[in-house]
Amino acid sequence: MPEEELIHSSQVLLIRTGADGHAESLLKDGRVVPVSCTAAELLERFCLQHGSTLKGRQDAFRLIMHTRQKTPVMISEASGRIFFPLLSPEDPACVWLCSNEILKCRSRGSGMCTVIFMNGEEYDLNFDARIVSKQMKRCEKYLQMFA
């Protein structure tokens, strides 16, 4: 069985694109696991495991939240697990974070930040902390609609 089939969305903290154009997932146990598909294809797999499509999840978020850019994806209503992009998903530098796993985001200045996950893992990003915070607030607001 290929390693990526063993990855479950509940174990993923972050998805990014590796040097080869395929996705890499940072897992709760600190491992970075390469997968043989793109980030969008991995998110599609996660959505399909819960009976929907990536496009369907994105369309629902856009419709309910009246937004068009950097659309988060709720993987499952039952778990409330949401991944959000920090750039356009078409951009190879796009990083997807799991909002449910973020404890806080600390600015490092010069448009960089450190994301601190619930398990204590820290991950440095070349993104402004305000982008992460704004996306987290959007996800929280969206989840409140399902409570």
HEC assignment per residue over 53-114: CHHHHHHHHHHHHCCCCCCCEEEECCCCEEEEECCCCCCCCCEEEEHHHEEEEEEEECCEEE
Tens of pLDDT along the chain (147 residues)?
344 456 899 999 999 998 898 999 999 999 999 999 999 999 999 999 999 999 999 999 999 999 999 999 999 999 999 999 999 999 999 999 999 999 999 999 999 999 999 999 999 999 999 999 999 999 999 999 887
End-to-end CA distance of the chain: 37
Q: Which amino acid is present at 95?
A: V
Please report the pLDDT score of residue 110 as a whole number: 93
Q: Which of 92, 80, 120, 87 is nearest to 17 (CA)?
A: 92
Distance CA 114, CA 107 (A): 6
DSSP-derived 3-state class of residue 50 = coil
Other CB atoms within 10 Å distance of the CB of residue 27: 16
